[in-house]
Amino acid sequence: MLKHSPEFVVRMAATPDDVAAAQRLRYAVFVEEMGADGALVDHVARREADEFDPFAMHLLLEDMHPAAPAQLVGAYRLMDLACAAKAGRFYSETEFDLTALRNGHRRILELGRACVHPDYRGGLAMHRIWSGLAGFVLEKKYRILFGVASFHGTDLGPLAQPLSYLHANHLASRELAPVARASGAVAMDLLPAQTIDRKAAMVATPALIKAYLRLGGAIGQGAFVDHNFQTTDVCLVLDTADMDPKSRKLYATGGLQ
């Protein structure tokens, strides 16, 4: 628990050192906490990296208070069509077919690698990142936000309730929906609709996914099992034009500094 009031600053990474700091935070969260691994993970330097990082934009959340346990306490990786063109594809396209999104003729932005320092979870940190993100999205006029979000674990048994609930209640329209690639695709409709326990499903759903849903987000077709990260992934899509006024106000109360 924090013993100080955070002095948050949200900004875009401007130097290689900024990106390295984000990768170190990602290492602490994804590798040390979740057991992830990958070809470019540097266990000596404690950096979680991949081939998309050099082409992406990195949104940083810093706590400038002198008592902060670390200056960088949150990070998000962003990729638009220009970034994807340089990288060869979006990160999500390793797991999901994004043809519908690419053909939609609307400005799209991929959100990924979201992570928050453990001391800052459950507080204002994620909201502050989202409000900073909102300022960037509005400035650049992105319309569709999307990205992979994860359930921890690859055993579908404990995930049957939340995956089935998302499939039954929050599927994206066909003109937007990403589709899980066959190499790791699993069905989400694991339980009959009448047997789904909404309360149990929500308890088992990660906070980031619930945040997307509250803003009006939807889920693509099928989930993808990622054995490198030991997760079961869904692809979330949010059309910012469809957000209700209350959600839009919550989402857009801030900006970058």
pTM: 0.92
pLDDT per position as a tens digit, 56-70: 999 999 999 999 988
pLDDT, tens digit (0-9, with 9 covering 90-100), for 113-127 = 999 999 998 888 988
Domain extent listing, the chain: 8-251
Query: From the CB of residue 99, how many other CB atoms can be counted at a distance below 10 Å?
Result: 12
pLDDT at 152 over 80: yes
Helix (H, G, I), strand (E, B), or coil: what is residue 247? helix
Q: Does the pLDDT value for residue 96 go beyond 60?
A: yes
**Element (DSSP H or E) covering residue 82:** helix 81-87
CA 104 to chain centre: 21
- pLDDT > 70 fraction of the chain, expressed in percent and rounded: 95
pLDDT of residue 30: 92
Please give the mean pLDDT across all residues of the chain. Answer: 92
**What tokens does 146 get?**
């999307």
**SS3 of 119, please?**
helix
pLDDT at 256: 55
In the chain, DSSP assigns E strands to: 8-12, 57-63, 72-80, 96-97, 108-116, 144-152, 179-180, 185-186, 218-219, 223-226, 231-239
CA–CA distance, 239 with 19 (Å, rounded to integer): 28
Cα–Cα distance, 118 to 192 (Å, whole number): 36
Tokens matching residue 26: 């990602």
pLDDT surpasses 80 at 243 = no
pLDDT value for 122:
82
pLDDT the model gives residue 208: 86
pLDDT of residue 249: 65
Least confident of 14-28, 30-44, 93-107, 139-153: 30-44
Reading the block at residue 34, the tokens are 């979740």
Position 64 scores a pLDDT of 95
Can you give the length of the chain in residues? 257
Paired tokens of 118 = 């453990």
Residue bearing tokens 């994206």: 172
Q: What is the pLDDT of residue 15?
A: 97
Class of domain 8-251: alpha beta
Give me the residue label for tokens 């320092």.
117
- Cβ-contact 115, 229 below 8 angstroms: no
Is residue 55 over pLDDT 80? Answer: yes
pLDDT(156) > 60:
yes
Is the pLDDT at 1 greater than 90? The verdict is: no
